[in-house]
């Protein structure tokens, strides 16, 4: 079933219109967007340094991405900005060829994402198993937490006091009021303390310069020819698919958090359009920011596009009008907020001894491998790919052993019937050939496939091999019971695999 045909999972979802009519929900959306923006800034700046581009380039691109996806995206609540995964992919190109190759790379990546979205390929996300998703979420929590550790080690003793104050506000304030998100209050209070007391601690400005000036349209400085395409295409493909994978996984995660559905195809082509616009005005691509999205939706309680619009507008305001104040936000305050987000992101229920005892070993293995690969490579997309491949292999291995073959010889001994049960594909059909008594069977053999189905060419080749082996012993084989699809598949391929 397509994304557009799926009914919503909740009866009365919160819409932009209903949020505008509810002061409480509207304030929640606005404040969630503001908190998310504050947590977004240092990460975007850090990733810009990794990618080898100016921090203002990544900040402006993040503004364009957040606002464009707020309008075009298929999953409300998802924060899109210049992300670390894209920075890691694009960095080698910048270092080897120069920053001028970023724009054509982003344009080609955006076009690939648009084609991916309109072609309906986003529906492939349904093939990601739950065990991979749990591994993805748990690994995400670990990565978010580990990314904050450098901001709370080898810092002045005063920074630890501010870190403790931030945590205290986050945990204590909700006991008195939930009208304002406690992370926002914590960041504002701790920043005010630093400014008023003129304290010297590591801050956002230390991550990169904030000029407060917006760049113009990104100039196209490389030749428009096939040689340029040859240089940028491998990176563009990586940017496109890493961005798509993280964005669609984030959308799926938000679907589960909010018990609602989203249009993954729209999310895909909207990301392509947003990246092209961000390339022309800003200069770098991006994708969903998973940690900030969790902060926006799970911690902030945002449910509509209002929060992401606020995030984009507030980021614009911070970059242009309040860049000097934004630069004074202590990194330990933001690290404290993101560490809490990391801890709440992990699916702790999946790690309890009772759950692990009940869960099949292959499911647990897939989850663990996904986590290990993600943490070891710092690459969420690679971890998901490895997890999916492992899940497919383990599934095929389990299914391969569920077929059964029953033999029944008639009273006269001149006819034998076999009943084959179970799915027939490459994993199970390769052993099927060895399930028959060729030398002992009479001249008439019937193989009943009414409780089996043919799923691939390997099975047809196996049936041809069975027929050939019986022919060598002077026996004739008749296949019966196939459904219409399997019959057509068998007739189309049988006899075409050689001797």
pLDDT means per 10 residues in the chain (499 residues)? 44 80 91 89 74 82 96 95 81 88 95 94 82 86 84 91 94 84 86 92 81 79 93 91 88 90 94 95 87 88 94 92 84 86 85 89 93 85 88 84 89 92 85 90 94 91 93 93 91 77
Which pLDDT belongs to residue 498? 59
Which pLDDT belongs to residue 242? 83
Which pLDDT belongs to residue 399? 78
Which pLDDT belongs to residue 9? 46
Q: Which residues contact 257 (CB under 8 A, 6 or more apart)?
A: 294, 297, 298
Which pLDDT belongs to residue 50? 66
CA angle 300, 291, 114 (to 5 degrees): 105
Which pLDDT belongs to residue 373? 92
Query: What does the alpha-carbon distance between residue 116 and residue 268 come to, in Å, rounded to a whole number?
Result: 7
Which pLDDT belongs to residue 1? 40
């Amino acid at each position: 079933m397509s994304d557009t045909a799926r009914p919503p999972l909740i009866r009365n979802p919160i819409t932009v219109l209903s949020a505008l009519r509810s002061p409480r929900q509207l304030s929640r959306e606005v404040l969630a967007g503001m908190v998310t923006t504050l947590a977004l800034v240092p990460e975007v700046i850090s990733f810009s340094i990794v990618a080898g581009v100016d921090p203002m380039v990544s900040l402006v691109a993040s503004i364009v991405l957040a606002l464009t996806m707020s309008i075009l995206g298929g999953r409300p609540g998802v924060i899109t900005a210049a992300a670390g995964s894209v920075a890691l992919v694009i960095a080698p190109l910048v270092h080897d060829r120069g920053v001028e190759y970023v724009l054509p790379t982003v344009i080609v990546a955006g076009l690939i994402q648009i084609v991916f979205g309109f072609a309906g390929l986003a529906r492939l996300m349904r093939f990601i198993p739950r065990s991979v998703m749990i591994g993805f979420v748990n690994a995400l929590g670990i990565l978010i937490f580990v990314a904050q550790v450098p901001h709370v080690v080898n810092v002045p003793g005063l920074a630890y006091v501010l870190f403790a104050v931030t945590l205290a506000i986050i945990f204590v304030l909700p006991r008195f009021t939930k009208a304002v998100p406690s992370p926002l209050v914590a960041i504002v209070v701790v920043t005010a303390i630093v400014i008023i007391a003129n304290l010297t601690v590591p801050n956002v400005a230390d991550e990169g310069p904030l000029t407060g000036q917006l760049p113009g349209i990104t100039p196209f400085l490389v030749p428009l020819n096939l040689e340029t395409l040859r240089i940028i295409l491998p990176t563009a493909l990586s940017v496109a698919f890493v961005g798509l994978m993280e964005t669609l996984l984030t959308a799926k995660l938000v679907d589960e958090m909010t018990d609602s559905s989203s249009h993954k195809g729209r999310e895909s082509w909207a990301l392509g359009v947003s990246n092209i616009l961000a390339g022309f005005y800003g200069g770098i691509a991006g994708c969903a920011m998973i940690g900030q999205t969790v902060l926006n939706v799970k911690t902030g309680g945002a449910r509509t596009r209002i929060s992401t619009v606020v995030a984009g507008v507030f980021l614009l305001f911070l970059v242009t009008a309040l860049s000097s104040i934004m630069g004074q936000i202590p990194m330990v305050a933001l690290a404290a907020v993101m560490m809490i987000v990391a801890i709440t992101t992990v699916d702790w229920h999946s790690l309890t001894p009772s759950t692990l005892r009940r869960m099949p070993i292959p499911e647990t293995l897939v989850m663990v491998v996904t986590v290990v690969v993600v943490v070891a490579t710092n690459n969420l997309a690679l971890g998901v790919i490895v997890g999916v491949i492992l899940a497919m292999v383990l599934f095929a291995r389990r299914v391969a052993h569920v077929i059964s073959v029953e033999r029944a010889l008639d009273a006269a001994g001149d006819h034998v019937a076999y009943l084959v049960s179970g799915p027939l594909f490459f994993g199970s059909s390769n052993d099927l050939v060895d399930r028959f008594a060729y030398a002992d069977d009479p001249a008439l053999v019937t193989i009943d496939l009414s409780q089996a189905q043919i799923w691939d060419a390997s099975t047809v080749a196996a049936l041809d091999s069975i027929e050939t082996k019986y022919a060598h012993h002077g026996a004739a084989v008749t296949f019966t019971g196939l459904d219409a699809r399997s019959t057509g598949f068998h007739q189309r391929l049988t006899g075409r695999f050689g001797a």
